Amino acid sequence: MYRFIIGVFLSALLSAHAGDKITIAISSAPNNLVPFYSTDANSQNINRLVHKALIDFNEKMQFQCRACSSFEERFEGDKQILKFHLKKDLTFHDGSPVEATDVVRSWEYYAKNKAIASTFSDSFENLKEMNVLDKHTIEIVFSPFSLENASNLGLLKIMKLKKPSGENLEPSDVVGCGDYVLNSISPLEIVVSPRDQSKNTFVFKVVKDETTLALKLINKEIDLSVANMSPRKINWLREKADQLQVWELPSGNYQYMGLNFKREKFDDLNVRKAISHLVPREDLLKYKLKNTAVLSSGMFSPAFAELYEPGTIDSYDPQLAQKLLTAAGWTRNSKGILQKNGAEFDIDWKVSNNKSSIEVAEVMQHYLQKAGFKVSISIQEWGTFMSSFKSGNFDIVVGQWIGFTGPDMMKFVFHSKSTPPTGGNRTSYSNPEFDKVIDSAVTETNSAKRKQLYKKALAIINQDYAYINLWHPNIIWVGSRCLKNLSLEPTGGFYPLLTMQKSHEGNCGKK
């Protein structure tokens, strides 16, 4: 009898300390869980649980140690030198200790192993050498300096390979040192198990249809959704499903209206300002986006603690827009269409076949037409849309930059020499003053001076209406009210899962 009671007690005690199995919905299957080739968000985010890098970004878009306990930066001429102190208790999944030589070997896998041919090998072209100072200390030397040097270290996962040659690697051939281990992989389900058995096991399920996903959340088949969902469906879940909660945070992503600067009609700043004042941002945010975004005053959202500037957001003001257009020489003809030197102001607007994108474009089209523009919307499938965008075959597009982590993105997007196919300046914006400031910023090693240069560059593109600022979409997760200690990151990354817990009180304790 006593043995039975003790057995029950021990079983209850072990259950209290054992982790939960939490089912998490994702929109699409990871394309490759071998870290050398993980280019999509789900692959990278799951790999962040399984593999550690020296550093990665935190919730304020600042560098934070992952495999290190601390790091320092110094400069010697054109060399940027980062000194890392590894965590002394860090081990690989096979139990062997992680040492500085393992970091060197991992870099060689990424940058030098031709059999592996990592997708990210070019990310380390500025990394000239790694110097092991002792078992837990390593210096990494970059030349020349770039903000991307440190951020690219987030791609370099510390690992061992079961196939040292690197040929024909499978995820199971890569031994990581992260908090989780890959347990099983199938086309629609990935399971990762914690090394600390008191932590949660995560079952990632691919659910592509948002209606199916909503029903699975309501029926408690899914504990948490990190999948993409339309504003309309999120709003419906928020109102209808009282057993669910919604977590949201402004992301670092940036949605904008791009005007093609190759078109002479957009040369006049007054025209660009006028179009901005014809965008009904408040109404779009409320009725189309269901308040799932924050309006933008520039490229950097509140997620970027060091760069965000709470500037002016243009209001919908058709009277001001009309004055600006008149000042630019555009007046309405007998048909009510804006005309200048006998030419009507016609706009070729390219839109991807995403339902939300089409709805937003159609609203903007209505308000531009009321002001006298002649707007033709062309709906294209994604590949064709991107081809039109990159080749400059458009007048106006609404685009989005996602996943960028710092101000160096401005050079890629706006520098006059950064046009496709080598850069992201798809609107062909050109301003010599901006080029000069941004060129100085990317080479400035003094952090305070660099920050001021980047802010000056940001002010130039805002004043120029290089893009028309729209909004920053929120990162939105939906899940059970039983989930606790969940705080999102603006990248949408999965690090918050590491601290998430599942309550067993009240309704959450019922089977």
| pLDDT given at position 509 | 66
Return d(Cα 57, Cα 495) in angstroms, integer: 10
Closest-CA residue to 282 (of 273, 272, 294)? 294
In a domain, 133, yes or no: yes
Q: What is the mean pLDDT of residues 479-508?
A: 91
Q: Over pLDDT 70: what percentage of the chain?
A: 96
pTM score of the predicted model: 0.87
pLDDT confidence tier of residue 422, bands split at 50, 70 and 90: confident
pLDDT confidence tier of residue 5, bands split at 50, 70 and 90: very low
Domain boundary among 128, 145, 171: 171
| pLDDT given at position 18 | 64
Cβ count near 444 (within 10 Å): 17
In a domain, 189, yes or no: yes
pLDDT confidence tier of residue 242, bands split at 50, 70 and 90: confident
In a domain, 154, yes or no: yes
**Is the pLDDT assigned to residue 129 strictly greater than 80?**
yes
Domain boundary among 138, 155, 171: 171
Query: Do 415 and 318 lie in a common domain?
Result: yes
pLDDT confidence tier of residue 510, bands split at 50, 70 and 90: low
pLDDT confidence tier of residue 3, bands split at 50, 70 and 90: very low
In a domain, 6, yes or no: no
The domain tally of the chain equals 3
Q: What is the pLDDT of residues 137-155, one digit of tens each?
A: 999 999 999 889 999 999 9
10 Å CB burial of residue 313 (0-12, 13-18, 19+) is middle
Closest-CA residue to 308 (of 469, 146, 145)? 469
Return d(Cα 310, Cα 312) in angstroms, integer: 7
**Is the pLDDT assigned to residue 70 strictly greater than 60?**
yes
Domain boundary among 122, 140, 171: 171
CATH number for 373 = 3.10.105.10
Query: Do 117 and 34 lie in a common domain?
Result: no
| pLDDT given at position 15 | 42
3-state secondary structure 221-244: CCCEECCCCCHHHHHHHHHHCCCE
Query: Do 388 and 415 lie in a common domain?
Result: yes
Close Cβ partners of 140 (under 8 Å, ≥ 6 residues apart):
81, 82, 83, 84, 127, 129, 130, 131, 153
Closest-CA residue to 474 (of 252, 313, 213, 282)? 252
Q: What is the mean pLDDT of the chain?
A: 92
- Whether the bond between 144 and the residue before it is cis, its omega within 30 degrees of 0, is yes
Q: What is the mean pLDDT of residues 383-406?
A: 91
Query: Do 211 and 119 lie in a common domain?
Result: no
Query: Do 349 and 392 lie in a common domain?
Result: yes
Query: Do 141 and 272 lie in a common domain?
Result: no
In a domain, 205, yes or no: yes
Helices 318-327 & 269-276 angle (0-180, nearest 10) = 170
Q: What is the mean pLDDT of residues 461-490?
A: 95
Q: What is the pLDDT of residues 155-164, one digit of tens each?
A: 999 999 998 8
Query: Do 319 and 417 lie in a common domain?
Result: yes
CATH number for 142 = 3.90.76.10
Query: Do 290 and 354 lie in a common domain?
Result: yes
In a domain, 428, yes or no: yes
Q: What is the pLDDT of residues 53-65, one digit of tens each?
A: 999 998 888 899 9
Query: Do 303 and 431 lie in a common domain?
Result: yes
Query: Do 47 and 57 lie in a common domain?
Result: no
CATH number for 43 = 3.40.190.10
Q: What is the mean pLDDT of residues 167-176?
A: 94
Full domain range(s) for residue 135: 52-171
In a domain, 7, yes or no: no
Classify each residue of 213-234 as buried b or exposed e, where b means 16 or more C-beta atoms within 10 Å of its C-beta: bbebbeeeebbbbbbbbbbbbb
Query: Do 298 and 320 lie in a common domain?
Result: yes
In a domain, 10, yes or no: no
Query: Do 259 and 404 lie in a common domain?
Result: yes
